[in-house]
Amino acid sequence: MPKPKQFLKDDSRKKKSAKHAPQVPETADEFLAAGVDHEEAGEKWRGGDAAKSTRFFVRAIDTYEAGLTKYPDSFDLAYNKARVQYEITQHPKLRGQLPGNLLDLLHVALESSRRALALKQDDPDVIFNTAQVLTSIAEALDDVGSDAGSLVPLLEEAVELFQRCLTLQEFRFSESEALRDSMTADGPGSPAESDGGAPLTPAAATASPQPSEEQWASIVEPTTPDTLLDTILALFETLTVLATKLNPRGLAALEEYSSTLLSKLPTYLAPSPTRAPEVGLTRANLLSALAEAGFRAGTIDTATYERAITDAFRDLDLAADPKGLTDKADAMLAFAAALRTQPVEDGQQQQQVVARWGALTQAVSALGAAAKVPGAMNLARIHLARADAEMLRYRVKDGTGYPGNVDAGVLVKNA
């Protein structure tokens, strides 16, 4: 089951003034403020009235587009338009209010994201968001059965963008850490430490004050350890999809690249230990996908593949984590499917059957546990996946007679 993408919504792009936007915007900032007003109304109604919420979001998009017609070089307008277009696609209830299918909407969001990226190619947020859209398109294509050849270029571009974003963020984080260390070294009497902020630049210090109702502020969020962790986890999720789509020639490079990133995880996680479960699950999913790819490419055997999945999930506490349980079930189902499609050497048939049955049984158990977790999302999909797993167990039983103590009729009834 695909994980809903966590869109990095940069609220600092939402410039605000002391007053609401005028009814007829004229400047780029006024168009921006008007769009933000519509967005906030859309967010207000998102939980209760999907149709009303969607109308406000569409008005926000239209407002940003109207502003871009007059100010085509406005990065903030282009950024906000692309952001909202993509965000709508990640909420099924909102998406259902719009014409066109998911892929149509994602391609529109991608076009807007590319436009914003062209205006400011070194902005980490728009780079991140564009990579997210590319990954979502690849996942949507995968869901409708598109061939790997159409997915791989999208995923490879997403990986390149995530890596560029991560590199920029690491550089800015290092700069901010160096600045902080420098200010600390200046001693307690420094202006920065006296009020907790950075000293004003000469230009900012001497600028003529504007009336409060005409002042605008664009707050640039600092790069934090959590920001870095968000990016590397999003990169891991894209690599997880890519791993099972690459041909064997590209797999070795992907494994080496992933290994380098995985070695950095403890450093990224250290400042945010509470995110260990999230990091552990994302890591487990990537390792499982790499093991599946290696098995299908013939570089590892069945036992190594199975051990890789077991080791990846072993230390995770998934009892109250429905997503973690469904991800583990997906890994076991992928293992069973890979075994079924690979040729079996003479004398190994029974061993393969036992391994398939064990994987399917673990998947059924994990999905059953996920369905019982209070507040679990996507219950219908969990139950459907469990029914599919039971039918796969039935086929193993019906085709091989294994295991002897299980009634095939019970499996069908469970499904």
How many CB atoms are located within 10 Å of the residue 350 CB? 11
Over the stretch 328-371, which tens digit does the pLDDT of each residue have?
A: 999 999 999 999 887 766 667 788 888 999 999 999 999 999 99
First vs last C-alpha separation in the chain? 18
What does the angle CA 113 – CA 117 – CA 123 come to, to the nearest 5 degrees?
Answer: 120
Whether pTM exceeds 0.95: no
Token code pair at residue 59: 């008005």
What does the angle CA 166 – CA 228 – CA 290 come to, to the nearest 5 degrees?
Answer: 70
Token code pair at residue 124: 């980490």
Over the stretch 261-320, which tens digit does the pLDDT of each residue have?
A: 999 999 999 999 999 999 999 999 999 999 999 999 999 999 999 999 999 999 999 999
Say what the pLDDT of residue 198 is. Answer: 36
With contact defined as beta carbons under 8 Å apart, do 21 and 41 qualify?
Answer: no
The domain 18-120 having CATH identifier 1.10.287: the answer here is no
Token code pair at residue 185: 């070294």
Say what the pLDDT of residue 211 is. Answer: 47
Quickly tell me which residue has 């219950």 as its tokens: 379
- The domain ranges of the chain are 18-120, 123-174+222-301, 317-415
Over the stretch 52-69, which tens digit does the pLDDT of each residue have?
A: 999 999 999 999 999 999
**277 against 394, higher pLDDT:** 277
Cis peptide before 403 (omega within 30 of 0): yes
Residue 16, phi then psi, degrees to nearest 5:
-135, 155
Mean pLDDT of 121-142: 97
Judged against a pLDDT cut of 80, whether residue 388 lies above it is answered with yes
Q: How far apart are CA 280 and CA 250, in angstroms?
A: 25
Helix, strand, coil share (%) of the chain residues, nearest 5: 75, 0, 25
Average pLDDT of the chain to the nearest whole number: 86
Mean pLDDT of 233-237: 98
Q: Give, to the nearest 10 degrees, the angle between helix 75-89 and helix 28-45.
A: 20
Residue 217's beta-bridge partner residues?
16
Nearest residue to 135 via CA among 116, 114, 161: 161
Judged against a pLDDT cut of 80, whether residue 220 lies above it is answered with no
Type of residue found at 205: A
Q: How far apart are CA 58 and CA 113, in angstroms?
A: 16
Over the stretch 73-102, which tens digit does the pLDDT of each residue have?
A: 999 999 999 999 999 999 999 999 998 899
Say what the pLDDT of residue 4 is. Answer: 38
Residue 16's beta-bridge partner residues?
217
Say what the pLDDT of residue 7 is. Answer: 46
